[in-house]
């Protein structure tokens, strides 16, 4: 469950706690209008291209490894995303370093709005600019498609949030993530 600051109260949080819920994390929602975005230097060794339909098994593998999820989820991730491939609102990207797959990203665009929907970098390619390059590629696509607003989400205080801020996105709000204690 996600609670935004504007729709939260001490009474609500006490009630949730009494029902076995507790706050476990924070997530930051960010935004920008294209005119304020900045170009970040991109490592020339990083290649970003659109993912091909037959590459969704690779997408699932990078997604699960990048987000630290169990291996058994990779086929489900691939299946859940490949169905969006033909939908013009969704774009999928693959980042490579030295011809080795290094990261993936997703962009959703509709009615002049763009969402940096997901991005994951394999652990061995982190701190090399892959995530920033994926942000820049999606921002460029959103600008090319004349989007008026670009949004994204990231774990509060994460490298992802910092990379989005370096690209010019600003914090809209931070929400609290609550889960139920199953003990």
Q: What is the pLDDT of residues 99-121, one digit of tens each?
A: 999 999 999 999 999 999 999 99
Cα-Cα-Cα-Cα dihedral sign, residues 70, 75, 80, 84 = positive
> Does the pLDDT of residue 47 top 80, yes or no?
yes
With bands split at pLDDT 50, 70 and 90, how would you rate the model's confidence at 48? Answer: very high
Question: Tell me, what CATH number does 7's domain have?
Answer: 3.40.630.30
Residue 56, domain extent: 2-180
**Res. 95: pLDDT tops 70:** yes
C-alpha 122/C-alpha 65 separation (Å) is 6
Please check the confidence at residue 76 and state whether its pLDDT lies above 80.
yes
pLDDT of residue 150: 96
The model's pTM is: 0.85
In the chain, the percentage of residues whose pLDDT exceeds 90 is: 58
Assign 6 a pLDDT band (cuts: 50, 70, 90).
Answer: confident
Tokens 């989820």 identify what position? Answer: 73
Q: What does each C-alpha distance from 166 to 13, 37, 170 come to in angstroms?
A: 33, 9, 9
Question: What pLDDT is recorded for position 34?
Answer: 84
The count of structural domains within the chain is 1
Give yes or no for residue 66 having a pLDDT over 70.
yes
């Amino acid at each position: 469950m996600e609670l935004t600051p504007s729709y939260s109260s001490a009474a609500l949080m006490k009630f949730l706690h009494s029902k076995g819920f507790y706050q476990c994390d924070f997530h930051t929602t960010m935004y920008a209008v294209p005119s304020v975005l900045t170009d970040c230097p991109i490592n020339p060794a990083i290649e970003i291209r659109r993912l091909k339909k037959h590459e969704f098994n690779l997408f699932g593998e990078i997604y699960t490894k990048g987000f630290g999820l169990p291996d058994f989820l990779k086929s489900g991730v691939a299946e859940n995303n490949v169905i969006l491939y033909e939908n013009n609102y969704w774009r999928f990207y693959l980042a490579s370093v030295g011809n080795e797959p290094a990261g993936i990203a997703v962009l959703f665009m509709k009615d002049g709005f763009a969402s940096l929907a997901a991005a994951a970098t394999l652990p061995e390619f982190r701190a090399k600019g892959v995530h920033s390059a994926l942000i820049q590629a999606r921002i460029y696509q959103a600008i090319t498609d004349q989007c008026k607003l670009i949004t994204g989400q990231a774990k509060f205080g994460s490298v992802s949030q910092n990379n989005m801020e370096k690209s010019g996105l600003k914090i809209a709000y931070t929400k609290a993530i609550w889960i139920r204690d199953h003990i």
